[in-house]
Structure 1
Amino acid sequence: MTLARTADLIAAARRRGRGVAAFNVITLEQAEAVVAAAEQAGRGLILQVSQNAIRFRRGFAPLLAACCELARAATQPVALHADHIDDPELAGALLARAEELGLGSLMFDASTLPYEQNLAATARVAAAGHRLGLWVEGELGEVGGKDGAHAPGVRTDPDDAVAFVASTGVDGLAVAVGSSHAMLERTATLDLDLIAVLDAVVPVPLVLHGSSGVPDEVLDAAVGAGIRKVNIGTALAIAGTARLRQELADRPKAVDPRRYLDGVREATAATAVHLLGVVA
């Protein structure tokens, strides 16, 4: 299976009236688990590496290169996405090496800037991405919980969303409809009516961030209302960390990471398989 294009996966999901699960990964084990989940579930997905993960890894090439190799070897279509990039210099560096790294898409997040600055910055990145054939995501309404910069009560205004897409040329729009990043419990309540309104008036696919905090039935309903790309990260970390604690407690003398990371990878994959069943 060749490396998939984000645009193709989302277009196919749109035709089905379902979504594409987009998993944020930080470690190689998480990336391996997500690809294994795609194969177990028989569904395509998006592997995402965020700006925060890039900084943690001290460079974007190692993890993205590994994700690219995993995607190329996968038996199900897997696309690569650079997520929540708010540094224009990093966006430029990623675009310059997009083909080498196998990137199919990039999300440029200027949502904390004043509206006009967000428009201008996002439009520049979208134009540059389009010249390379990339699918580019933008964000208008802020999504709660991200580094204290976003207010959970913010909601995307439909008229503003239509104008934003027209002015920036983005291919997908991350909307604020009630979810919040980094939630440890699945208690988020989404504005399903707003999602339906946005889906009716916005000409590009809608993206839900902070999906780990959304219960299965609400997540399913959000996809039914029009969400087409579903970002998931914290749920993988919760599953993997719980398994790691269990593995280390069961093996107090373990020093070889293979002895406990295999279980972490297994638990992470199981969570991804479950969420693929909800979203796709």
Structure 2
Amino acid sequence: MTLARLDEVLRDALRDGRGVGAFNVIQIEHAEALVAAAERARLPVVLQISENAVRYHGSLAPIALATKAIAQQSEVVCVLHLDHATSEQLVDEAVALGFTSVMFDGSRLDDETNRAVTRSVVRRCRGAGVSVEAELGEVGGKDGVHAPGVRTDPDAAARFVADTGVDALAVAVGSSHAMTSRTAHLDLDLVAAIRARVPVPLVLHGSSGVADDQLRAAVAAGMTKINIATHLNKVFTRAVRGYLDDEPGTVDTRKYLAQGRSAVADEAARLLELIAMRTDVTV
């Protein structure tokens, strides 16, 4: 199936009151697992490649083109998304490679510079038919640079979207990147307040630390794109470790990586269905 733009997928989900799962690709097994999960759930999925993953691989093209090929062979809608890019050059490379969405992270820049650079990124990407996500209000835990307890102001978020023209906005409402326990408590009243002021879909980063009931409540309150990475890495690692504990003589990497791939497919399918489920949660 043809790759879709993020704004199109999120617009449909927002209209229907659903959440959309956005999961990180690090190895090719992740891409295979996530597409298999989406096909099983019959739901769209956002395949994210982060700037950190690019740094790990040494370049963007190999993992990006492999992920793109897997997505294009899928029976469901997939978005190929560059996540947390701080480099404009990397954004431009992603656009040239056929990404359908990018997240430009200017949160380390001063406010005026962040708005100006984000606006420029939006202008270039929109001309290429690529949607843009950005971040306002630092999300805790990202590389240790964000202060704890930071929250996004609804009026500031509305102004940022108006100034930059972004298609989706990541906001800080109580989650934190790289959490290994699902104990984050979201400010659902704040989610609803931002949703009431901001005309584009909202993105929840750091969702690995958010329990199932809170994820559903976040969607009910107004979140649409739900980013999950660390939680699935835990699932992958646990499956690989379990296999090697049971079969310590294994040297064929395919045998234990297949266990990780299968486990991620199972959990990603469950999460896709969970956040796409209509809920009666009252905020």
Provide TM-score, normalisation by structure 2: 0.95
What is the aligned counterpart of 1:153 among 145, 149, 155? Answer: 149
What is the CA RMSD across the aligned residues, in angstroms? 0.9
Q: Which amino acid aligns with 1:4?
A: A
Cα separation, 2, equivalents of 1:27 and 1:259: 15
Cα separation, 1, equivalents of 2:270 and 2:86: 31
Cα separation, 1, equivalents of 2:10 and 2:159: 22
The question of 1:199 aligning with 2:195 is answered: yes
Number of the residue aligned with 2:263: 267
1:178-198 deviation digits (Å, cap 9, x = unpaired): 000000000000000000010
What is the aligned counterpart of 1:223 among 201, 208, 219? Answer: 219
Say whether the 8 Å CA contact 2:13–2:224 is kept in structure 1.
Answer: yes
Q: Which amino acid aligns with 1:214?
A: V
What is the aligned counterpart of 1:173 among 169, 175, 198? Answer: 169
Say whether the 8 Å CA contact 1:152–1:179 is kept in structure 2.
Answer: no
Say whether the 8 Å CA contact 1:37–1:273 is kept in structure 2.
Answer: yes
Number of the residue aligned with 2:5: 5
User: Helix, strand or coil: the match of 2:142?
Assistant: coil
Cα separation, 2, equivalents of 1:78 and 1:89: 24
Report percent identity of matched pairs: 54
Q: Which amino acid aligns with 2:50?
A: S
User: Helix, strand or coil: the match of 1:142?
Assistant: coil
1:21-63 deviation digits (Å, cap 9, x = unpaired): 1111101011110001001111111100000001111111111
Stretches of structure 2 lacking an aligned partner (at least 5 in a row): 277-283
The question of 1:113 aligning with 2:106 is answered: no
1:132-187 deviation digits (Å, cap 9, x = unpaired): 11110111100011110112300000111111111111111000000000000000
Cα separation, 2, equivalents of 1:49 and 1:188: 24
What is the aligned counterpart of 1:142 among 128, 133, 138? Answer: 138
- Which residues in structure 2 correspond to 1:1-280 (within 5 Å)? 1-95=1-95, 97=96, 101-280=97-276
Q: Which amino acid aligns with 1:6?
A: L
Shift, 1:5, TM fit: 2.3
Cα separation, 1, equivalents of 2:148 and 2:31: 29
Shift, 1:89, TM fit: 2.2
1:49-108 deviation digits (Å, cap 9, x = unpaired): 00000111111111110111111111111110000001122223223x1xxx33111000
User: Helix, strand or coil: the match of 1:79?
Assistant: strand
Say whether the 8 Å CA contact 1:30–1:236 is kept in structure 2.
Answer: no
User: Helix, strand or coil: the match of 1:103?
Assistant: coil
User: Helix, strand or coil: the match of 1:137?
Assistant: strand
Say whether the 8 Å CA contact 2:7–2:168 is kept in structure 1.
Answer: no
Q: Which amino acid aligns with 1:215?
A: A
Cα separation, 2, equivalents of 1:213 and 1:219: 10
Cα separation, 2, equivalents of 1:3 and 1:130: 16
Shift, 1:253, TM fit: 1.0
Of stretches 1-10 and 78-87 in structure 1, the one that deviates more from structure 2 is: 1-10
Cα separation, 2, equivalents of 1:52 and 1:152: 22
Shift, 1:7, TM fit: 2.0
Q: Which amino acid aligns with 1:76?
A: V
1:190-249 deviation digits (Å, cap 9, x = unpaired): 000000010011011100000010000001000011111111111110000001111111
Stretches of structure 1 lacking an aligned partner (at least 5 in a row): none
Say whether the 8 Å CA contact 1:235–1:271 is kept in structure 2.
Answer: no
Say whether the 8 Å CA contact 1:158–1:197 is kept in structure 2.
Answer: yes
Q: Which amino acid aligns with 1:49?
A: I
